[in-house]
Structure 1
Amino acid sequence: MEQPHTSSLHVETEAPEPSPLRKMVAVSSIAAGVQFGWALQLSLLTPYVQTLGVPHAWASFIWLCGPISGLVVQPIVGYTSDRCTSRFGRRRPFILAGALAVALAVFLIGYAADIGHAAGDDITKKTRPHAVAVFVVGFWILDVANNMLQGPCRAFLGDLAAGDHRKTRTANAFFSFFMAIGNVLGYAAGSYDKLHRVFPFTETSACNVFCANLKSCFFFSIFLLLVLILIVLVTVNDPQFTPNQAIQNDDVAALGSRFSCFDQVVGAFKDLKGPMWMLMLVTAVNWFAWFPYVLFDTDWMGREVYGGDVGQTAYDRGVHAGSLGLMLNSVVLALMSLAVEPLGRLVGGVKWLWGIVNVVLAVCMAMTVVISKAAEHERRHGVPVGYPSLGVRAGALTFFSVLGIPLAITYSVPFALASIYSSTSGAGQGLSLGLLNVAIVVPQMIISGISGPIDKKFGGGNLPAFVLGTVAAAISAVLAIVLLPTPKPPADGDKVAAIPAPPSFH
């Protein structure tokens, strides 16, 4: 017998009221703990994995681990958390599990060199295969864990906003703000090369000062993350989800018997409305611009700006200077995150704001070529390697700082729009944000796969990938303004409870 079409189920129960802002701030604060670890990953791990013997041209392939796992994990975790009936709530079990997985991952990454040495690596040789294997496993687990954390956290914010568009945007702006705070802490720790003295046991025969400093940074990051998550688990209520709040018992049985998680994810793609497709397209193009920067920011400082190679003092000086630049970037990111809502109103809507800052992103990415050529010109005319002029250093740090402006929008606006569009996308908060993550990780997979070989073909540097980012940023600016619809506030009485809609039956 044919089942009725139920793709836009409206719940006949009274919609919940938005939660107090303090609860949204508490949940958003988890981003600081997550991003502390990510900041270390982004600033130090590409140089670190090269010290284990992975060539620069192949280092980008290591980063394929993250997007491949994210491509699968985010939608599945989003779907499962939408329908989790645990007595601890829908989102909190995944947040706790993600935190424990992060702790395991950073242990494997930090101790990769030691574990590899114990497994038989010869530390006198350039390549240490066992250490690389442990590192890659830890990297996979870290990305899976971060997906288990960030997706449910953002979905939790959507639940707490309960359909209020302004609170949804504000909550995601606070999430972006705390990401910036985590970045500041992470990049500050990464730029300080004596942190390992707090934990003297971290330096071993297989783990040099750089490696020991990375371990020490990770110790601090996991402590911060666990404290923030404990606060949220204790203070923010996450009501137990009972399916009969939205669906009659016979419909639940039909769902359970006919639709698996994979069916739901595929069905969600089929049922996506135009606004969500447009959002995913703009997001994908935008991340083609961001990932060259994400993958090679500190490596660019070490190679192109400071003129060093991996293992040389000049390169290490550049990496630490890059960490300082990333810290300045995060300060601007934090300040800009608090201004997203008023600036959006000032320029005529968030899509205009996103388009404008993508122009800023394109200009900044193009400036990497100018800065690199200026540094190269200085070295050809007698400036020592590792000691670029004040003008070049100032230009590079300005590049990092200004990028905090578009980054604040990238960290908040797309996710807020996904939460808003989810009311018509055929998916719940968690699944909608998981689908948006697909639009983020696919570009990362492509960039990770092609940037290394392209850079090698053009001389082994990072500039070809940055030029690609310049073009993508300009395109995404146009697409954001032309394609994205302006969200309309729901009419009184149109709000529905913040629960997942079931798939349509045909």
Structure 2
Amino acid sequence: MPAGFGALPLAESDMLRGSTVGSARILGPRWAHLPTLTVGLLGAQILWSVEMSYAPPYLISLGLSRASMAIVFLAGPLSGFLVQPLIGVLADNSTSRWGRRRPYMLAGCAVCAVSMLLLGYTREVVEMLLGRDNSMNGLATEWLAVLAIYLVDFAINAVQAVDRALLIDTLPPPLQASGNAWAALMLGVGGVVGFFVGNLDLPDLLPFLGSSELQVLSVLVVSLIVGGHLVTALLVREAVLVPTEGHKRLSFRAELHQIWTRMWTLPLVIQQIFMIQFFAWLGWFPCLFYTTMYISDLHARSESAQAAFDYGTPGLLASDLAEEGTRLGSRALFFCAMLALLTNLVLPPFTTTSSYQSMVKTRMPKIPLVTVWMGGHLLFCACMLATFAVTTVQGATFVTMIMGVPLAITQWAPFALLGEAILTSQSSSDTGEVDPLLEQIESNGAKSSSLDLSSELERLDMRSPNPNAAHREVDSAGGGLRDQVGVILGIHNICIVIPQFLVTILCAVVFAVFDSDSGSAAENSRPSTKQSSVVYVFRLGAVWSFIAFMICRRLARLVR
């Protein structure tokens, strides 16, 4: 067992023990196991893309102010902060005969479907309930649309929480990197599809699904997210948590206490992954939110002052600059998404997690995943520092495209390392028990010097229950980390969401300081020669990513 993955002593609790019966397995041909397990994330990512692209202009068209819209879209970080940890602990302690994750997955998909259709058909629903000529229709439509957005955000966070937890529950440690690579691939495809469909006239192509782009998209997204999760729910089997004598459901207070206690008693490796994610996302959120604004500002500044008056209509020119700058920013993000998708296709076969690298002699040397993650932080830092030199839209587009590589690594590496840390901490307990899978690989590796990990995994039939794992005692408070995957992933999500709140405040301060005199170039008749205020936030992102790199170096030493 590599250093750093051993379980630390955990806090005692008065919660009672249960036992799991059966083992996780995936039905169907072996080549389809990982796509089956991760296909639900495809629909989830497309839903996020559609909501972020179409919900803001839709709310504005209903009469909502920009300030009110900003408050509405706090639903995303709030749901990530509250829903994922709570759903995680509820699922960890669920004794449903269908498993711990699938009931919450299907319930969340049902709420997603209803709320997404409600968002697309808000006006029609209000008219059906109140009548076509009711004076309250406008206000009711606004409130119903806001409610739909909150329901979508809370439900999709619940679904993604159990999607990630099910992946860790189902796959053995050697497949965590591959499984999370497939998850990142689904997210990448979802991002590319989300950008692509925005260029299509869907009401003309599919008029029977609705009269507006948002209506057609809502139907398509619901079909994808429900269909994908039905495939996962039908073909993935879970171990069932069976309460022992005297077992009782946790109270809401006990569930919150479990999250708080677990946060401070996790192994050092997991805590360091959380710290890396915290600093990394302090850099990523401004980049994801403001890249379009940054490129739009560059585009406006690239126009000469004389050109601003050649048209004779400077007001129209400012509007044209803003629209063209937005298109250029969207194009750069599309290139970024394409490169991220390509990275998720090409890079994973050349990497390996640390725990099994020394146990199995592979035909081709592979790069430790933690080293790849370190490289991703350095590359992102370099991209942010490049804003010192970039002065053209073409240069900014190139830098944005290159960010697709660290973005792909960020969507994949931390989840794979976290999954492995959870599972290997479980197997290295205070009792000195050895994970049967580790023992099997070590034993077979000693017999054959040319053993390849993939060929060894072929012998681990995930379609059949493991008789050695048919009945396992678990402690929902202080036992193995394997049985508290939902709680740990919830805490991990908190470490990603908190930077979003901090970045919102930081960006507001930076923009107030550097944009206080003249406003953006698009709002003025003469393009500004002043440097975009966004670059100052990006340069701070370089600092945060370098801190993440330094912590990642420590993590690399720990896991080796």
Measure how far apart 1:473 and its partner are: 1.8
Deviations 1:324-351 (A, max 9, x none): 3333322222221234444435675222
Q: Which residue is 1:194 aligned to?
A: 201
Q: Secondary structure at the match of 1:249?
A: coil
Q: Secondary structure at the match of 2:84?
A: helix
Equivalent pair of 2:269/2:559 in contact (CA under 8 Å): no
Distance 2:388 2:58 in 1: 25
Q: Which residue is 1:458 aligned to?
A: 514
Equivalent pair of 2:203/2:209 in contact (CA under 8 Å): yes
Measure how far apart 1:415 and its partner are: 1.4
Distance 1:465 1:132 in 2: 33
Q: TM-score, normalised by structure 1?
A: 0.75
Correspondence for 1:353 among 345, 369, 372:
372
Show structure 2 runs of 5+ residues with no match. 1-10, 302-314, 353-364, 427-477, 520-532
Read off the aligned partner of 1:285 and give its amino acid letter: F
Superposition pairs for residues 75-224 of structure 1, below 5 Å? 75-111=85-121, 133-161=143-171, 164-190=172-198, 192=199, 194-198=201-205, 212-224=212-224
Read off the aligned partner of 1:189 and give its amino acid letter: V
Equivalent pair of 1:326/1:401 in contact (CA under 8 Å): yes
Equivalent pair of 2:18/2:242 in contact (CA under 8 Å): no
Q: Secondary structure at the match of 2:280?
A: helix
Q: Secondary structure at the match of 1:86?
A: coil
Equivalent pair of 2:351/2:368 in contact (CA under 8 Å): yes
Deviations 1:392-438 (A, max 9, x none): 2x434323322221111111111122222224485411111111001
Q: Secondary structure at the match of 1:243?
A: strand
Deviations 1:421-473 (A, max 9, x none): 22448541111111100101111122234424532432255444333323222
Read off the aligned partner of 1:151 and give its amino acid letter: A
Q: Say whether residues 1:473 and 2:545 are aligned partners.
A: yes
Equivalent pair of 1:64/1:448 in contact (CA under 8 Å): no
Correspondence for 2:276 among 279, 282, 289:
282
Equivalent pair of 1:366/1:470 in contact (CA under 8 Å): yes
Equivalent pair of 1:177/1:334 in contact (CA under 8 Å): yes
Q: Which residue is 1:33 aligned to?
A: 43
Measure how far apart 1:90 and its partner are: 1.5
Deviations 1:266-302 (A, max 9, x none): 1211322222211111101101111112223344444
Max Rg structure? 2
Deviations 1:148-181 (A, max 9, x none): 11111111111111xx322011101100011111
Correspondence for 1:439 among 495, 514, 526:
495
Correspondence for 1:260 among 234, 243, 254:
254
Correspondence for 2:381 among 359, 362, 372:
362
Superposition pairs for residues 297-312 of structure 1, below 5 Å? 297-305=291-299, 312=319
Distance 1:121 1:313 in 2: 37
Distance 2:325 2:277 in 1: 31
Equivalent pair of 1:99/1:226 in contact (CA under 8 Å): yes
> For this pair of structures, how many residues does the alignment match?
445
What is the RMSD of the two structures over their aligned residues, measured on CA atoms? 3.9
Structure 1 residues 63 and 287 mapped into 2: Cα distance closer, same or farther (>3 Å)?
farther
Read off the aligned partner of 2:382 and give its amino acid letter: V
Q: Which residue is 2:227 aligned to?
A: 227
Read off the aligned partner of 2:370 and give its amino acid letter: K
Measure how far apart 1:188 and its partner are: 0.5
Distance 2:368 2:263 in 1: 27
Q: Secondary structure at the match of 1:260?
A: helix
Equivalent pair of 2:210/2:216 in contact (CA under 8 Å): no
Distance 2:92 2:500 in 1: 26
Measure how far apart 1:27 and its partner are: 1.8
Structure 1 residues 102 and 458 mapped into 2: Cα distance closer, same or farther (>3 Å)?
farther
Deviations 1:200-254 (A, max 9, x none): 59998xxxxxxx4344333322222222122222222234x2335xxx434x34x
Distance 2:63 2:318 in 1: 11
